[in-house]
């Protein structure tokens, strides 16, 4: 059966794509990392168990890849659990593409994600000016203002709304 053989030939391709996406998620901005890895692992499981035919797995991977690509250009307000002060804390986060991410916890702490070697860290900010800049960004995002010029702790950024 030629279709079966062609499908089998897709398995190593799918495995490589999954490995590449997994590495990208693990080393990229820590945005909903667990959820994204769980979704990728579900696709991996379907490939390994044969629950989905390899061409279907490739289609799911393409869709997953498109979602990942969309994350690189989206600016938005989200909720996620972040590691902070040795605890897992529910926070609001503003993600600016794959350039920067800021957080506000429900108990009033604010901060940003900073790169530390090969990993990322959620760093609480102390400066009133920095906290004010983050508050302005969050306020704008809550009001659906997703473009404009914002002064932020890591410098200034001009956001444009993508179509």
Q: Can you list the residues of the chain whose pLDDT is less than 50? A: 163
Q: What angle do CA 11, 15, 20 make, to 5 degrees?
A: 150
pLDDT for the residue 12: 93
Closest CA to 89 of 60, 73, 109: 109
Distance CA 88, CA 71 (A): 23
What interhelical angle do 2-27 and 54-73 show, nearest 10?
30
The strand ranges marked E within 37-137 are 75-84, 87-96, 100-105, 110-116, 119-124
pLDDT for the residue 116: 86
Distance CA 140, CA 144 (A): 6
Quick: pLDDT tens for 21-48: 999 999 999 999 999 999 999 999 999 9
pLDDT for the residue 27: 94
């Amino acid at each position: 059966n030629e279709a079966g053989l062609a499908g089998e030939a897709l398995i190593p391709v799918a495995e490589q794509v999954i490995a590449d996406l997994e590495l990208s998620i693990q080393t990229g901005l820590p945005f909903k990392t667990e959820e994204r890895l769980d979704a990728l692992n579900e696709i991996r499981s379907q490939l390994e168990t044969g629950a989905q035919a390899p061409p279907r797995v490739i289609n799911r991977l393409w869709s997953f890849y498109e979602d990942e690509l969309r994350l690189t250009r989206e600016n938005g307000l989200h909720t996620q659990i972040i590691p902070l002060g040795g605890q897992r804390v529910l926070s609001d986060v503003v993600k600016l593409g794959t350039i920067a991410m800021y957080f506000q916890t429900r108990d009033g702490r604010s901060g940003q994600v900073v790169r530390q070697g090969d990993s990322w860290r959620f760093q609480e900010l102390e400066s009133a000016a920095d906290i004010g800049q983050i508050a302005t960004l969050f306020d704008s995002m809550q009001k659906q203002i997703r473009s404009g010029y914002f002064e932020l702790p890591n410098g200034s950024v001009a956001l444009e709304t993508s179509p």
